[in-house]
């Protein structure tokens, strides 16, 4: 059972959770959130990520996607060890549940931007293994 005391819930949330707001049915990253979302990018790129981020619908995280491919197809997963938007242990648990071939990298939430060569290598390995 989840603890209802706010001080306990706060400890379980990633730091990035305190750097967004929900408005108009969407989750908006505050400027301060870019450091947690993509902190391994140069500051000017962090600002660009913040300015161009598309805010997801708030209800997105309250429902399951039907017919997910990972249940029937091979999967690959990159765990971002320095992710402050999604806890790396949660990423590892998701990858394990999927039965995914898992790769770890010391990156923020956006390894495709901070470590594109590594991500490309994973994509090539996935293509070769499919």
Burial class (CB in 10 A: 0-12, 13-18, 19+), 80: buried
Average pLDDT of the chain?
87
pLDDT at 9: 40
The CATH number that domain 6-129 falls under is 3.40.50.1820
Weakly modelled stretches of the chain, pLDDT under 70: 1-18
Supply the pTM of this predicted model: 0.80
Q: Using DSSP, state whether 45 is helix, strand or coil.
A: helix
Domain boundaries, the chain: 6-129
């Amino acid at each position: 059972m989840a603890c209802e005391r706010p001080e306990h819930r706060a400890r379980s949330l990633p730091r990035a959770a305190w750097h967004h707001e929900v408005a108009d049915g969407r989750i908006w990253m505050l400027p301060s959130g870019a450091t947690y979302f993509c902190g391994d990018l140069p500051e000017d790129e962090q600002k660009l990520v913040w300015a161009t981020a598309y805010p997801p619908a708030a209800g997105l995280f309250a429902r399951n996607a039907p017919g997910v491919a990972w249940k029937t197809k091979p999967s690959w997963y990159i765990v971002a060890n320095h992710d402050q938007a999604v806890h790396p242990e949660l990423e590892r648990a998701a990858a394990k549940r999927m039965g995914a071939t898992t790769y770890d990298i010391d990156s923020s939430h956006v390894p495709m931007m901070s470590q594109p060569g590594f991500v490309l290598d994973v994509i090539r390995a996935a293509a070769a293994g499919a």
